[in-house]
């Protein structure tokens, strides 16, 4: 079945039976993450909702129902990421889908508990470490997949591998957002290159233009800026119209459930999207970012014979 810009999450999961599958969703207490968790739980899957606010998380679990549970995770603190991942491994016996949905967008200059620029540290490094810690279970559960939420914002710019944390250059919130979203695409490509043959595939997703809590730092001028940047995109790319969350989350739910998507793809509007910036498709940059990420989080990503 073909999907498009108007497809909703319920249409994506219609008729699916994922009983026996386990899905972990980060940033699942609001917005796209919450909607994704709701739709995926409706298939009978066990869905673990991860987030920072325990009370809010438990309330969402109560609201969604089904085989859902909440698990504490603060991606802006690597110690929390390690503890969260290790505790999660004692709670679940398999992991079929890891949906790395959480993120921050265009925030004022701030730093994570470990000193990383907040957008790069949360959107990329926190998820890099969380994925690494959970990865042995993903391999054990293969075929499995990782879905990383990116954005057309990656077109703004690539990753500055020499100064990713804005320690030696002026901070620009949109440039930093573009860097973080490019890192999400590069991470997905490198994950699939290394581990696709082991049955673990990865995808990057542009959800579209959606008003959620992700945009809590934006004012009217920022919204106008988004519109201007959107209007300058090449023709033939993803829709620039604002979507409700039911449509915005559809592509990531599709990525989490479809058996027919080529590994390593960048997805938008329910389809493989070819409008990807060269700086986000460069295999050498992807490999260098991988090595840098291992260095910054202070531990290597698990590997297997044949994976490099």
Instruction: Give me the active site residues, please.
Output: 177
Q: How many CB atoms lie within 10 A of CB 288?
A: 15
One DSSP character per residue, 98-134 reads EEE-----SPPS-B-TTS-BHHIIIIIIIHHHHHHHH
The answer to whether 48 and 29 are in contact (CB under 8 A) is: no
Residue 306's contacts (CB-CB under 8 Å, 6 or more residues apart) are 197, 198
Rounded-to-integer distance, Cα 268 and Cα 72, Å: 29
At 298, phi and psi to the nearest 5?
A: 85, 20
Rounded-to-integer distance, Cα 9 and Cα 12, Å: 5
Count each helix (H run) and each strand (E run) in the chain, helices first. 11, 10
At 46, phi and psi to the nearest 5?
A: -80, 120
One DSSP character per residue, 287-306 reads HHHHHHHHHHHTSPPP--TT
Q: Which residues pair with 97 in a beta bridge?
A: 23, 145
The answer to whether 39 and 307 are in contact (CB under 8 A) is: no
By three-state DSSP, how is residue 283 classified?
helix
């Amino acid at each position: 079945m073909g999907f498009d810009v108007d497809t909703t999450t319920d249409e994506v999961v219609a008729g699916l039976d994922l009983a026996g599958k386990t899905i972990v969703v980060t940033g699942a207490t609001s917005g796209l993450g919450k909607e994704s968790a709701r739709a995926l739980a409706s298939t009978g899957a066990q869905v673990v909702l991860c987030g920072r606010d325990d009370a809010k998380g438990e309330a969402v679990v109560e609201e969604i129902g089904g085989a859902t549970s909440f698990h504490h995770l603060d991606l802006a603190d690597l110690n929390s990421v390690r503890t969260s991942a290790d505790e999660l491994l004692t709670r679940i016996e398999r992991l079929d889908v890891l949906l790395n949905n959480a993120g921050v967008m265009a925030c004022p200059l701030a730093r994570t508990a470990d000193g990383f620029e907040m957008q790069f540290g949360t959107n990329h490094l926190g998820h890099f470490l969380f994925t690494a810690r959970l990865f042995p279970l993903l391999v054990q559960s293969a075929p499995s997949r990782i879905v990383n939420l990116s954005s057309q914002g990656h077109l703004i710019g690539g990753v500055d591998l020499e100064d990713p944390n804005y320690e030696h250059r002026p901070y620009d919130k949109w440039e930093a957002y573009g860097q973080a979203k490019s890192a999400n695409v590069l991470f997905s490509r490198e994950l699939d290159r290394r581990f696709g043959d082991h049955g673990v595939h990865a995808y990057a997703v542009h959800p579209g233009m959606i008003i959620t809590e992700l945009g809590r730092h934006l004012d009217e001028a920022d919204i106008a800026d988004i519109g201007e940047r959107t209007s300058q995109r090449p023709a033939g790319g993803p829709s620039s119209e604002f979507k409700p969350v039911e449509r915005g989350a559809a592509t990531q739910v599709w990525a989490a459930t479809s058996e027919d998507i080529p590994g390593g793809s960048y997805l938008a509007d329910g389809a493989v999207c070819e409008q990807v910036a060269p700086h986000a498709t460069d295999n050498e940059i992807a490999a260098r970012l991988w090595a840098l990420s291992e260095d910054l989080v202070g531990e290597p990503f698990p590997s297997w014979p044949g994976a490099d």
